[in-house]
Amino acid sequence: MRQTNHQVGMLTEADDWRVRDLSVVWHPCTQMREHPDTLPLVPIARGEGAWLIGHDGRRYLDAVSSWWTNLFGHAEPRIAAAIGAQAMQLEQVMLAGFTHAPAVELAERLLAIAPRQSDRAPLAKVFYADNGSAGVEVALKMAFHWFHNRGEHRRTRFIALENGYHGETLGALAVGDIPLYRRVYAPLLAEALFAPSPDAYLARPGESAADCAARAADALAALLERHAGEVCAVIVEPRVQCAGGMRMHHPDYLARVRELCDASGAFLIADEIAVGFGRTGTLFASESSGVMPDLLCLSKGLTGGFLPLAAVLATQAIYDGFLDDSRERAFLHSHSYTGNPLACAAALASLQVFRDDDILTRNRATAAAMTALAEPLSQHRHVADVRQAGMMLAFELTEGGNKATPFPAASRIGLKAYRAALARGVVLRPLGDVLYWMPPYCVDAEQLQLLADVTRAAIDEATA
């Protein structure tokens, strides 16, 4: 029998990990002063399917897929085995001057499944990096450098969307628009241009999501015109602005962005780091708009949630723009762990699970069950909006359910809901006052029911 509440001196095993952690570890995305009184710190011993299991034996339903990385459940045995086998074979080799089967095979597979557009040459090359932000840096630098190599030295600007998020490194942060992450570092950031978000939550009275998307696209068109010849790329999170509060937009928007990029000569960068790999219903979110980007950024679910890895898929035309006798015209960007064999092996195993388990079909049924369970919650007094894109579903909490009256930030409704849900065994980490469901694809009917019940209890308790 596993001991679940092992005593270490006067402390339980879980308490002991908490104390030791707080004496040495500095956590991400956290005001450390809030630990452990305002914000609980939960030592996790193991994972199993959709569950995270603490050292005290308590189980937590991972409704946010561990920051959107996990696809098929924790410790998925097929991916774990693939990593183990690869580790016994080759754990790492630099990808400059060397290659290995997992990197080649993964590139082949990714290019075969990437979004296509009948009137465009397909994505043709894969550049690896080792986390999402690094993947965004690669795409931004590639776009800029491509124009530089052609002597188009005026093309130095990026257009990003208001309320967008692309990561925390300085380049990625420069094209992000979430004040909480950006504001302090603003003096360090390259100046990007921001276009209005197509976010359907911002629709004016009488406007449909499609109208709202059209209005945002018109504004982007005007911005591109004002900066004609200056923009190297437009970067977009297709369908869902995730860190921006799971704000969703109509697929028409990306189709218009594609046209506008073509007309202005700028590249389209699709950041599918969060929405890729089946989250929105299709394998890639760009597919729902019938769009192929020039640069596609992938990470998070790429390895099924096991290991950090990013892949940036590029067109042949972009690749060709770097071929030359000079090293300076080459794309020299490098990370020590670029294309790590273990991570590539995990990604290959993850793509195999998609096929073997017919995940996209299964997800359609799960998404429909999520719709049905969320419906009664849309009637809740403090729920202003329930929105869904496939396996992502979000609840916007406001005072009285009125869009015009968000809760005052100081009331920390989201944090209260988080604590209430955690106490009931569900991880519902909010984005401000937005609670969302983004569970691993193995989530079953019973777990979804628990999720719905706990969401209601958490909203009730937080807004009481």
Which residue's CB is nearer to ligand PMP, number 69 or number 388?
69
Which residue's CB is nearer to ligand PMP, number 13 or number 272?
272
Which residue's CB is nearer to ligand PMP, number 266 or number 274?
274
Residue nearest to ligand PMP (CB): 132
Which residue's CB is nearer to ligand PMP, number 134 or number 397?
134
> Least distance (Å) from ligand PMP to the CB of residue 75?
21
Q: Which of the residues 215 through 234 are near ligand PMP (CB under 6 A)?
A: none
Bridge partners, 267 (sequence order)? 233
Asked if 74 contacts 51 with a C-beta cutoff of 8 angstroms, the reply is yes
Asked if 163 contacts 133 with a C-beta cutoff of 8 angstroms, the reply is no
Any contact of residue 242 with ligand PMP (CB under 6 A)?
A: yes
How crowded is residue 400: how many other Cβ atoms within 10 Å of its Cβ? 11
Asked if 387 contacts 435 with a C-beta cutoff of 8 angstroms, the reply is no
How crowded is residue 443: how many other Cβ atoms within 10 Å of its Cβ? 24
The whole-angstrom separation of Cα 305 and Cα 299 is 9
The correct pick among 126, 243, 431, 435 for binding ligand PMP (CB under 6 A) is 243
Q: Which stretch binds ligand PMP (CB under 6 A): 132-140, 151-159, 373-381, 443-451?
A: 132-140
Q: Which of the residues 393 through 412 are near ligand PMP (CB under 6 A)?
A: none
Which residue's CB is nearer to ligand PMP, number 136 or number 359?
136
How crowded is residue 405: how many other Cβ atoms within 10 Å of its Cβ? 12
> Least distance (Å) from ligand PMP to the CB of residue 134?
7
Spell out, one character per residue from 412 to 451, where the chain touches ligand PMP: x when CB under 6 A holds, - when not: ----------------------------------------
Which residue's CB is nearer to ligand PMP, number 300 or number 382?
300
Size of the site for ligand PMP (CB under 6 A): 14
Which residue's CB is nearer to ligand PMP, number 296 or number 373?
296
Which residue's CB is nearer to ligand PMP, number 13 or number 237?
237
> Least distance (Å) from ligand PMP to the CB of residue 101?
25
Q: Which of the residues 70 through 129 are near ligand PMP (CB under 6 A)?
A: none
Which residue's CB is nearer to ligand PMP, number 17 or number 128?
128
Residue partners of 16: CB distance under 8 A and separation at least 6:
8, 9
Which residue's CB is nearer to ligand PMP, number 297 or number 452?
297
The whole-angstrom separation of Cα 159 and Cα 143 is 12
Spell out, one character per residue from 298 to 327, where the chain touches ligand PMP: x when CB under 6 A holds, - when not: -x----------------------------
Asked if 319 contacts 122 with a C-beta cutoff of 8 angstroms, the reply is no
Which residue's CB is nearer to ligand PMP, number 200 or number 273?
273
> Least distance (Å) from ligand PMP to the CB of residue 414?
17
Which residue's CB is nearer to ligand PMP, number 321 or number 439?
439
Asked if 193 contacts 157 with a C-beta cutoff of 8 angstroms, the reply is yes
> Least distance (Å) from ligand PMP to the CB of residue 323?
29
Spell out, one character per residue from 252 to 271, where the chain touches ligand PMP: x when CB under 6 A holds, - when not: -------------------x
CA distances from residue 340 to 67, 77, 199, 283, 333 in whole angstroms, order as listed: 21, 20, 36, 23, 15
Residue partners of 459: CB distance under 8 A and separation at least 6:
377, 380, 382, 383, 395, 397, 417, 435
> Least distance (Å) from ligand PMP to the CB of residue 438?
11
The correct pick among 62, 237, 385, 433 for binding ligand PMP (CB under 6 A) is 237
In this structure, is the dihedral angle defined by the CA atoms of residues 203, 208, 220 and 239, taken in order, positive or negative? Answer: positive
187 CB burial (10 A radius; 0-12, 13-18, 19+): exposed
Any contact of residue 292 with ligand PMP (CB under 6 A)?
A: no
Parallel, antiparallel or unpaired: strands 295-298 and 383-389? unpaired
The correct pick among 223, 269, 274, 349 for binding ligand PMP (CB under 6 A) is 274
b/e map 313-350, b = 16+ CB within 10 Å: bbbeebeebbeeeeeebebeeebebbbbbbbbbbbbbb
* Identity of the residue numbered 47: G
Parallel, antiparallel or unpaired: strands 392-397 and 59-62? unpaired
Q: Which of the residues 134 through 173 are near ligand PMP (CB under 6 A)?
A: 136, 165-167
- The CA angle 215-218-223, to the nearest 5 degrees, is 130
Residue partners of 445: CB distance under 8 A and separation at least 6:
369
Please compute, for residue 446, the number of CA atoms within 13 A of its CA located in the half-sphere on the CB side. Answer: 2
Any contact of residue 249 with ligand PMP (CB under 6 A)?
A: no
Residues that bind ligand PMP (CB under 6 A): 131-133, 136, 165-167, 237, 242-243, 271, 273-274, 299
